[in-house]
Amino acid sequence: MKTKASVLTIRIPSELKHKIEKVAEEQGVSINQLALYAFTKEIQDLETSQYFEKYYKGKTKKQIFADFRNVLYEIKSDGKIPTWDKL
């Protein structure tokens, strides 16, 4: 499946442009690929942060830790790593 692409023109300081070019060259990718990765990663981080802010809104630190302990209790782990899960 092909995604429709759009062109985005942005103005950035010269110093930042040089840094972007340097990082792209070091990574062996085009400036476009680096920008796409950086934008995608940042948007994903922001969306994740917003999700957790909404999820934990109104809860105290004490409530969050109590919920976490309840989950651990439900797992009933003895701390031993199963053979199938060892490296």
pLDDT, one tens digit per residue, over 36-80 is 999 999 999 999 999 999 999 999 999 999 988 888 788 876 767
Domain ranges of the chain: 14-76
**pTM given for the model:** 0.64
- For the record, the structure tokens of 75 come out as 């797992």
Determine contact, residues 34/24, Cβ cutoff 8 Å.
Answer: yes
> What confidence tens digit (pLDDT) does each residue in 22-46 have?
999 999 999 999 999 999 999 999 9
Per-residue pLDDT of 6-18, as tens digits, reads 999 999 999 999 9
E strand or H helix at 77: none
